[in-house]
């Protein structure tokens, strides 16, 4: 009877679907620019290359398009979307507004075990930086921000952020070739403010961290102009005096 009761309490193991697997692999390659903007994508070629049917590829393509990574054109080639500078800055605005509030709440709500968990993430990120592993570093960067949202009781906020940050993600990934130490140092400042329960300092540190992209995008665009669409946004629209 005890065993039967225990089994009722256990949740079924969630295994990734074929669509999830295809989505995650394509997401990784697009983010890392292994599949750069302008690359033509074929359901048939991807399905053949990954050894799956076309339906999960079609579903993965749709999910990637909703994030802004793919432009699906019926009866024409599907392509990796170019980076939109306007979309990058819109994502920065959304993230700055939301994450300033979540980090403020985190100062009030995080327990010692939450702080320890965040310290562990930052230690893993330090090791990734030392190993010069940008893919792992970026994943841990996301994990740090997501954990703050979730541990502050606002996990839904990360869902909103993830839906809006595809263009920003590729710029952030490109910035890691010269700014990973800055990103890690910013996280340490946020962490110190969280540990001191200093909400104003935590909000300022988060805002400064997310605003670095205003300067970084200038260098990245100069080095990778072909990855971007349209003309650079006027500097008056994205002032950098608050960094």
pTM given for the model:
0.84
42 and 76 in contact (C-beta within 8 Å)? no
Q: What is the dihedral of CA 215, 217, 223, 227, to 10 degrees?
A: -170
Give domain 83-237's CATH architecture.
Up-down Bundle (1.20)
Q: Give the confidence band of 14 by pLDDT, cuts at 50, 70, 90.
A: low
Q: Give the confidence band of 73 by pLDDT, cuts at 50, 70, 90.
A: confident
In 85-240, at which residue ranges do the beta strands (DSSP E only) sit? 228-229
Is the pLDDT at 242 greater than 70? The verdict is: no
79 and 70 in contact (C-beta within 8 Å)? yes
Is the pLDDT at 235 greater than 80? The verdict is: no
Backbone angles phi, psi at 135, to 5 degrees: -65, -50
Would you list the domain boundaries of the chain?
Answer: 8-80, 83-237
The full DSSP string for 74-100 is: TTS-EEEPPEEHHHHHHHHHHHHHHHH
Is the pLDDT at 96 greater than 50? The verdict is: yes
- Read off the tokens for 145: 């921000």
226 and 37 in contact (C-beta within 8 Å)? yes
pLDDT of residue 204: 98
Give domain 8-80's CATH architecture.
Orthogonal Bundle (1.10)
């Amino acid at each position: 009877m005890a065993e039967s009761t225990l089994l009722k309490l256990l949740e079924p193991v969630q295994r990734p679907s074929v669509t999830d697997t295809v989505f995650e692999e394509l997401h990784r390659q697009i983010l890392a620019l292994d599949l750069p903007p302008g690359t033509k994508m074929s359901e048939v070629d991807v399905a053949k290359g990954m050894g799956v049917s076309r339906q999960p590829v079609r579903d993965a393509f749709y999910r990637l398009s909703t994030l802004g990574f793919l432009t699906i054109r019926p009866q024409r080639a599907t392509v990796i979307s170019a980076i939109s500078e306007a979309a990058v800055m819109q994502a920065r605005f959304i993230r700055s507004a939301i994450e300033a509030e979540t980090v403020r709440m985190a100062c009030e709500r995080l327990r010692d075990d939450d702080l320890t968990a965040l310290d562990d993430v930052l230690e893993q990120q330090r090791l990734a930086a030392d190993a010069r592993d940008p893919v792992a570093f970026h994943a841990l960067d996301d994990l740090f921000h997501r954990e703050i949202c979730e541990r502050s009781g606002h996990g839904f906020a990360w869902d909103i952020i993830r839906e809006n940050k595809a263009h920003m993600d590729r710029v952030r990934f490109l910035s890691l070739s010269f700014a990973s130490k800055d990103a890690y140092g910013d996280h340490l400042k946020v962490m110190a403010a969280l540990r001191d329960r200093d909400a104003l300092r935590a909000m300022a540190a988060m805002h400064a961290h997310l605003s670095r992209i205003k300067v970084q995008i200038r260098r990245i665009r100069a080095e990778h102009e072909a990855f971007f669409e349209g003309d650079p946004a006027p500097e008056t629209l994205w002032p950098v005096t608050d960094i």
